[in-house]
A and B are shown apart, each in its own frame.
Chain A
Amino acid sequence: MKQNIRLVAIGTAAMATLSFALPVLAFAAEEGEETMGIGLLIPKPGEFIPMLIGFIVLWIVLAKLAWPAFMGMIDKRAAKIKEALETAENARIESERVLEEHRAELSRAKKEAADIIATARQTAESVKAEITASAQTEAEILIAKARTAIEAEKKSALAELQGSVADMTVSVTRKVIGTDLSDAEHRSIISRYIAEAGSFNEN
């Protein structure tokens, strides 16, 4: 960088030296050109040659000293930029690839999650249906058993009640007949029963 600055300074100094060395020619040319129309466009040999020599000298100096360094600097900078661009492009491609992979991974994860949720939901529905059916079956069995037990208890209670009523009726009748009938009434009953009784031959 410092070398480049130095070359630019040298070139600038050469140009200044040539300008100060040919001031008269320059002025003379200016005075002659003001007087002629087309002559204004045609360079004067007295001015042109020194300027050409100065230009060539300057061109040579710049070509030898400043231009290679300048071009090297440009090339380096271009290479750096190119490298940076390639790195950025690679990074972009890599990031896109990673992003794509992440997207694919995310999509797969979402799909798996959806599958898991669907499976879990299906399993839950199945278990729910199974539990419901089992509970319903058990409830029906319990209800049937309860109905049977109630019916049996009802019949048992009715039978017991009938038995109690029958026992009580017979007991009361037995007491009434046993205590209230006189001997004559007993004999009257015996007489009637003898008349109504069957034969030994029938048994």
Chain B
Amino acid sequence: MKTSAVNIRAKAEVYARVLLEAAQASDRVFVLTGELAELLATVRGSLELRSALSEATFPEQAKKAIIAEIFSDYAPELLATFEVMVERGDLATLPRVCEFYYALAEEALGAIILDVSTVVPLDEELRQQIITKYSSQLGRGVLLREYIDPDLIGGIVLASHGKRIDASVSSQLENARQVLSLSQ
């Protein structure tokens, strides 16, 4: 079990470094952080997709066709790396690949990647406000990866390295609902 975990970690680091080198060659290091996160979310969200890509008896060509069909908009270096992972049966290393890639990308970019979710697109003034605040807090430069999420209703959600600051209206309403429900 321990050996298996070590192997996964080692393999994930190799995949992440290969992907980073390819991304640096195409100058898409930052872009790939977002696409890699979306790819991970897609694979995690579909049991059928995971089963199809993990099934050893399933033809490799069919697996590649599935990847090309679903992730056609993603960067070619990301798709190539992902196809190799699937071909070698290393789909389970994907979450660790993401972690390693984020760390390597942040190191390469000299900044911390901050996921920012809002209801409306950020304007330049808000971007600067966020960068200024969190650059000073974290002591490094900040790169924003922006997402639009209508379910937030309002406000903002910030996430980085597994930590999350939820300043959305939906969470505040949920808190208010719980307080109202539990109050005697």
- Measured CB to CB, the residues of A under 8 A from B are 159, 162-163, 165-167, 169-170, 173-174, 177-178, 181, 183, 186-187, 189-191, 193-201, 203
Q: Smallest distance from the beta carbon of B142 to chain A beta carbons, Å? A: 11
**Is B153 among interface residues, defined by CB-CB distance under 8 A?**
yes
Instruction: Name the interface size band of chain B.
Output: 35 or more
Whether B165 lies near A169 (C-beta < 8 A) is no
Residues from chain A with Cβ under 8 Å of B134 in the complex: 200
Whether A177 lies near B177 (C-beta < 8 A) is no
Minimum CB distance partner of B123 in chain A: A187
Whether A177 lies near B153 (C-beta < 8 A) is yes
Whether B183 lies near A201 (C-beta < 8 A) is no
Whether B181 lies near A183 (C-beta < 8 A) is no
Query: Which parts of B93-116 form the interface with A (CB within 8 Å)?
Result: none
Pick out which of these stretches binds chain A: B13-21, B25-33, B83-91, B167-175.
Answer: B167-175
Residues from chain A with Cβ under 8 Å of B5 in the complex: none
Cβ-closest 10 pairs across A and B = A166-B180, A193-B167, A170-B177, A166-B177, A197-B167, A186-B120, A183-B120, A163-B181, A166-B181, A170-B173
Whether A194 lies near B138 (C-beta < 8 A) is no
11 A-B pairs with CB atoms under 8 Å apart are A169-B177, A170-B177, A174-B169, A174-B170, A178-B154, A186-B118, A190-B155, A193-B156, A197-B156, A197-B165, A200-B138
**Selected contact of A194 from candidates B153, B167, B178, CB within 8 Å:** B167
- Contact A194 B181, CB 8 Å, known A177-B153, A178-B153: no
Residues from chain B with Cβ under 8 Å of A191 in the complex: 125-126, 129
Minimum CB distance partner of B167 in chain A: A193
In the docked arrangement, what's the CA distance between A159 and B181, Å?
Answer: 7
Whether B165 lies near A170 (C-beta < 8 A) is no
Interface of A is mostly: helix
Residues from chain B with Cβ under 8 Å of A187 in the complex: 120, 122-123, 126
Whether B169 lies near A189 (C-beta < 8 A) is yes
**Is B61 among interface residues, defined by CB-CB distance under 8 A?**
no
**Selected contact of A200 from candidates B163, B167, B183, CB within 8 Å:** B163
Residues from chain B with Cβ under 8 Å of A193 in the complex: 155-156, 167
Minimum CB distance partner of B164 in chain A: A203
In the docked arrangement, what's the CA distance between A178 and B163, Å?
Answer: 26
Residues from chain A with Cβ under 8 Å of B155 in the complex: 189-190, 193
Residues from chain A with Cβ under 8 Å of B177 in the complex: 166-167, 169-170
Q: Smallest distance from the beta carbon of A193 to chain B beta carbons, Å? A: 4
**Selected contact of A162 from candidates B138, B156, B180, CB within 8 Å:** B180
Query: Which parts of B143-173 form the interface with A (CB within 8 Å)?
Result: 150, 153-156, 158, 160-161, 163-165, 167, 169-170, 173
**Is B52 among interface residues, defined by CB-CB distance under 8 A?**
no
Q: Smallest distance from the beta carbon of B169 to chain A beta carbons, Å? A: 6
**Selected contact of B169 from candidates A159, A169, A177, A203, CB within 8 Å:** A177
In the docked arrangement, what's the CA distance between A187 and B116, Å?
Answer: 13
Assuming A183-B120, A197-B165, what are 10 further A-B pairs, CB within 8 angstroms? A162-B181, A166-B176, A170-B173, A174-B153, A174-B169, A178-B150, A187-B120, A190-B126, A194-B167, A200-B134
In the docked arrangement, what's the CA distance between A198 and B158, Å?
Answer: 10
In the docked arrangement, what's the CA distance between A162 and B183, Å?
Answer: 8
In the docked arrangement, what's the CA distance between A197 and B117, Å?
Answer: 14
Residues from chain B with Cβ under 8 Å of A181 in the complex: 154
Whether A198 lies near B153 (C-beta < 8 A) is no
Residues from chain A with Cβ under 8 Å of B126 in the complex: 187, 190-191, 194
